[in-house]
Structure 1
Amino acid sequence: MKLTKTILMGSTLALTAMWGAAFAQNVAREDTVIFDLDRTIKDPDNFNWFTPGTKRMHGAHQTMWEPLFILNYNTGALDPWLATGFEANEDSTEFTLTLRDGVEWSDGEAFNADDVVFTVNMALENEEISSREASTIRAQVASVEKVDDLTVTFALKEPNPRFVVENFGVRIFGSFLIMPEHVWNGEDPATFAFNPPIGTGPYTFTSAATNRAIWDRNDDWWGAKTGFMDLPEPQRVIFLETGGAESRAQLMVTNELDAAQNVGVGTFEAIAAQNPNVIAWHSDYPYAASDPCARQLEINTTVTPWDNPAMRKAVAHIIDRSQIVNVAYEGTTVPSETMFAQYGSMAPFIDAVKEAGYGLPATADVAAGQALIEEAGWTKGGDGIYEKDGQQLSVDIHVNSASTEYTRTIDIVVEQLNRAGIAAKAVPVENGVFWGEVLPFGKYEMSYSWLSCGSVNEPWASMGRYTVSDVVPVGERSPGFNNTARWSGDAAAAYSAIVDQMADLTLGDPEIPGMVAEAYQHLDAEMPFIPLVQAAKLLPMNTTYWTGWPTAENYYNHPFFWWNHTHQIIHNLEKAG
């Protein structure tokens, strides 16, 4: 990417005019942190997070609404925030949470168990509020009860040792957010706009438009008054829609943006060349941080010849993950070693799989793959493609056309398979068709996706997605996109039995790594999906005004600043110089 002076000046002037009103209250630039927003705020006057739309990631759950806990991706620990701890009964059907004393809403009202019980009951009693977190609460919770002002007990519909981290721990993106009873009481939770909004966080809402939201520090924040944590140093936080990669690049170069959304490696290197204060998660290749949803090749196990595990295994041998990394990702990620996202908290389970001999190689073994194909009765024709009974060995690979990351990856896989003797073809489809028809209904031979997504601190969340309990016929919708491969049979049943036992074990149980390895032998033997590479987010962070950004060397948590854990990032920022 070439950032010319002419383009830079034009883009910067246009964007400065677009959000010049952001500094109307005369907060100095060096006291302001500006985050990139990758979407338009469709309804800037609505702060009802229970309903669809941009209601949180424009600063609301990063600055104003605080979570009860925050999952640390590196250690696997649940860092206490609005809550200080929890206890579970023996079978994980009841959880008692202890809230932090002294927490206040920004209007001075106490935050306590009444707010928690009220908000949870709103989710339980109103089917029309449709956020993912509210739906999960409805699916899991039978009832909620106040014990005292700082204690709440949840009774679950069935055992779930992961209940707290799934619902209140910012496991992935967000958490179930508690709302102030004294504001919401008597309102219709499906239509209430909650404007002006309040929260317990150290920032209060100032203004919003379709392209920005502004939050100013509340110097009367409860956390500083109680000694929980000092006031964050930024006096103002702005979430700004930058309009795409080129615009965010220009703003990073000119120090008008402090943290940017994902860019390509060429763009990042161009930014860093003009502004050496811009850093990334890694100081050198691969630069990027790993996203929780590792990429993989899904295989429909009901379709001939891919109903044969040996043929699926052959494809796994033929795929060269290092080439995908180098070409499709320009070196910004790493090959997957297992199905799991490669975070520090997942290391015990990844290591158990590798030590058992089921880890994935970075490079291909084409000869081993071809041997399995030939053992299945296929022979190469004159054009180099395998044949049997007058039919060529071919496969269509569906891919979501919404991102060049996806299409470039599958183009490489297609080329690798063709070179090895499989007539592969990419079938790009638009986003709605891919997620609405192709994947859930099993309308594919192979497809590119990330359906193992889920495990970031324990293995069951991902492994539980491939049990036989979720197998439905092709043409019926797979529940929750689980087991769209329709993997069944003796090996799948044996795998499922182990994973089902794992589901009821408490987090941290020492038996779990061994059980992961035992179950994984069936995945390795049958390959209902083929892990490819870790997903990558290359997020430029600017140290001109602010230091303390999360990096691989400063790993207090991951850098995804549109998530609910961004409170940690903002509290770690320090003024440069």
Structure 2
Amino acid sequence: MTLRRTLLTVSALVLAATSGAALAQDVAREDTVIFDLDRTIKDPENFNWFTPGTKRMHGAHQAMWEPLFILNYGTGELEPWLASGFEGNETNDEFTVTLREGVEWSDGEAFNADDVVFTVNMALENEEISSREAATIRAQVASVEKIDDLTVRFNLNAPNPRFLVENFGVRIFGSFLIMPEHIWAGQDPATFAFFPPIGTGPYTYTSSATNRAIWDRNDDWWGAKTGFMDLPEPLRLIFLETGGEESRAQLIATNQMDAAQNVSVGTFEAIRFQNPNVIAWYSDYPYAAADPCARQLEINTTVAPWDSAAMRKAVSLIIDRNQIVNVAAEGATVASETMFAQYGSMAPFIDAVKAAGFGLSDEPDLEAAAALIEGEGWAKNGDGFYEKDGEVLSVDIHVNSASTEYTRTIDVVAEQLTRAGIQARSVPVENGVFWGEVLPFGTFEMSYSWLSCGSVNEPWASMGRYTVKDVVPVGERSPGFNNTARWDGPAAEAYSAIVDEIAKRPLGDPEVPELVAEAYQYLDAEMPFIPLVQSAKLLPMNTTYWTGWPTSENYYNHPFFWWNHTHQIIHNLEKVE
């Protein structure tokens, strides 16, 4: 790749970002961390995260709003932050959370149980606030009560051992964020803009525009005063919209950015050639960190001939996952071993599946695939395609056209199937049609997606998406995109019964890996979907001014700096002297 943007042009982006705050204080570049922002801030003066369209990854939940807990993807531990601990009852329908003593909002007011109860009740009592986190709280929580200033009890509608990690632990992207009662009281939560915003974090809001947000360190931060944690070293954080891969590449290569959004392997290697101080999660291939949403081939199990488990199994055996890695992903990922994202916290479950003999091979087994297809009555014709009763074996694979990753992967898969004797055709459709019509209503034979997404520290979040309770006829919307395969029958029922048992078990139950393997035998035999490769984010991180970035060798957590756990990243950064 050629980095064609001129230094003058990209410098103007950084200059624009810093000029808005110049009157507040003069901060040197070496005291500033500049993060890539991959989207426009539509309303820079709206910090009501409850309302649709209001984003928080421009620093609001990375620097200002702190979570109660942070899930460690490596260990699976729920690490306390604003909270100091929790306790659940034996039936997992009641959780008592203890808050950390001495926490303050940036205006000096105490953060306590009143704020937690107030914010949760806002979600419970106002159905018009529609953020995903608020809707989840409404679905799960019957009531919340203050025990004392530092203790809150949640009473759930039903047992849920995953309640805290799902809602307050930054399991994926964010968490339910607590707001200051002394500012929100009396406001309409559906329309209140919460500007200027405050939080408990070590940075306070300085300025924002549609393409940037700037945050400056609060040296009176509660965490340093109480001994919870030292002040972070950066004096200023800037979240800057770069406008695409080429711009972010030039910015980080010329030391005008410290952490960039996803780039291709070719772009990363060009950046690193120009600036050897730029690193990634891995120092060599696959470079990228695994994203929670592993990629897979969805199959409509109601459509012949794919209503046959043998035919679905044959497709899995035909697929060369290594070729997808090398061609479609340019080597920036790895083949999936199971349905799960391959994090350290998921290792016990992945290992159990593999030990039981249900792990996936990264290489094809064309002989075994042919035996399965021929066993269903298909035979190759003179053109090399399988045929039965005058009908050629074919399949249309729908794919979202929004990303070259998606279309390139399905081009590879379609070519593999075609070479093996199945006429396969890629059917690209635009994003809205794919998610609004094709997947939820089952109007596909096969499609490319990641609907097993969810499990990052325990197995139920992903496995629970394929139980028979979510089976609906083709033409009806699958609830929450669950079981879009419409997988049903005795095997699916046996699988569902085991998964329902897993759902009841507390996190860390030593019997769960064995239950996972027991349930997985039905997935392996019936293949209602086919895991392909891990999803990956290749995130360039610049060590010219700052070290301490999360990597596979410095694995305190994953590197997705637009998530709510970014507090950990910022606190781990050390200034290069």
> Which TM-score band applies after superposition, normalised by the shorter structure?
over 0.9
> What is the distance in 1 between the residues matched to 2:12 and 2:223?
39
CA 1:309–1:504: 2 relative to 1, 3 Å: same
Residue in 2 aligned with 1:393? 393
Residue 217 of structure 2 is aligned to residue 217 of structure 1? yes
Structure 1 match to 2:187: 187
Does the 8 A contact of 1:333 with 1:536 survive in 2?
A: yes
Instruction: Note if 1:202 corresponds to 2:181.
Output: no
Structure 2 gaps of 5+ residues are none
List 4+ stretches of structure 1 deviating above 3 A.
none
1:411 counterpart = 2:411: yes
**CA RMSD across the alignment:** 0.8
Q: Write the distance in 2 (CA, Å) between the matches of 1:74 and 1:389.
A: 53
Aligned residues of 1:11 and 1:247 also touching (Cα < 8 A): no
Query: 2:342 maps to what in 1?
Result: 342
The verdict on how the C-alpha distance between 1:553 and 1:320 changes in structure 2, with shifts beyond 3 A counting, is same
Structure 2: distance between partners of 1:441 and 1:11: 46
**Cα deviation 1:90-145 (Å, max 9, x = unaligned):** 11010000000000000000000000000000000011111110000000000000
Q: CA deviation at 1:21?
A: 1.2
Partner of 2:41: 41
* 1:360 and 2:360 aligned: yes
Secondary structure of the residue aligned to 2:338 is coil
Give the equivalent residue in structure 2 for 1:514: 514
User: 1:383-418: per-residue Cα shift (whole Å, max 9, x none)?
Assistant: 111111111100000000000000000000000000
Task: Write out per-residue CA displacement over residues 452-489 of structure 1, whole angstroms, 9 at most, x where no aligned residue.
Answer: 00000000000000000000000000000000000000
Deviation at 1:55, TM superposition (A): 2.6
Q: Aligned equivalents of 1:525 and 1:173: distance in 2?
A: 33
| Cα distance in 2, alignment partners of residues 441 and 16 from structure 1 | 45
Task: Indicate which of 7, 21, 33 corresponds to 1:9.
Answer: 7
Secondary structure at the aligned position of 2:352 is classed as helix
Matched residue, 1:370: 370
In structure 2, the residue matched to 1:76 is 76
1:525 aligns with 2:525: yes
CA contact (8 A) 1:11 1:250 kept: no
**Retained in 1: the 8 A contact 2:232–2:570?**
yes
Q: What corresponds to 1:481 in structure 2?
A: 481
Alpha-carbon distance, 1:18 to partner: 3.8
Identity %, equivalent residues: 82
The SS at the match of 1:239 is strand
For residues 200 and 7 of structure 2, the distance between their equivalents in structure 1, rounded to whole angstroms, comes to: 40
Q: Tell me which moved more, 9-18 or 535-544.
A: 9-18
Q: More displaced, 339-348 or 11-20?
A: 11-20
Matching residue of 2:17: 19
Corresponding position of 1:240:
240
Structure-1 separation of matches of 2:329 and 2:446: 21
**2:455 matched residue in structure 1:** 455
Give the Cα–Cα distance (whole angstroms) in 2 for the partners of residues 16 and 293 of structure 1: 32
Q: Take 2:54 and 2:386, find their aligned partners in 1: how far apart are those partners?
A: 50
Q: Is this contact kept in 1: 2:37–2:261, CA < 8 A?
A: yes
- Aligned counterparts, 1:101-500, within 5 A: 101-500=101-500
Give 1:20 deviation, angstroms.
4.6
Q: Per-residue CA shift, 1:147-180, capped at 9, x if unaligned? A: 0000000100000000000000000000000000
User: Mean alpha-carbon deviation: is it higher for 80-89 or for 12-21?
Assistant: 12-21
Q: Distance in 2 between matches of 1:365 and 1:403?
A: 29
> 1:510 is matched by which residue type in structure 2?
P
Query: Which amino acid in the other structure matches residue 384 of structure 1?
Result: G
Secondary structure in 2 aligned to 1:49? coil
Mapped to 2, the partners of 1:119 and 1:492 lie a distance apart of: 40
How far residue 514 of structure 1 moved from its aligned partner, in angstroms, is 0.3
Query: 1:440 is paired with a residue of what secondary structure?
Result: helix
Query: Does 1:505 find its partner at 2:494?
Result: no
> In the alignment, which residue of structure 1 is the partner of 2:569?
569
Counterpart CA distance in 1 for 2:226 and 2:283 is 37
Which residue is equivalent to 2:67? 67
Q: 2:424 is paired with a residue of what secondary structure?
A: strand
- Report the residue type matching 2:475 in the other structure: G
Cα pair 2:17 2:238 within 8 Å, conserved: no
2-structure distance, mates of 1:21, 1:144: 45
Q: What is the CA distance between 1:253 and its match in structure 2?
A: 1.1
The TM-score with structure 1 as length reference comes to 0.99
Which 5+ residue runs of structure 1 have no aligned equivalent?
none
Q: 1:40 Cα deviation (Å)?
A: 0.2
Give the C-alpha shift of residue 13 in structure 1: 4.0
- TM-score, structure 2 normalization: 0.99
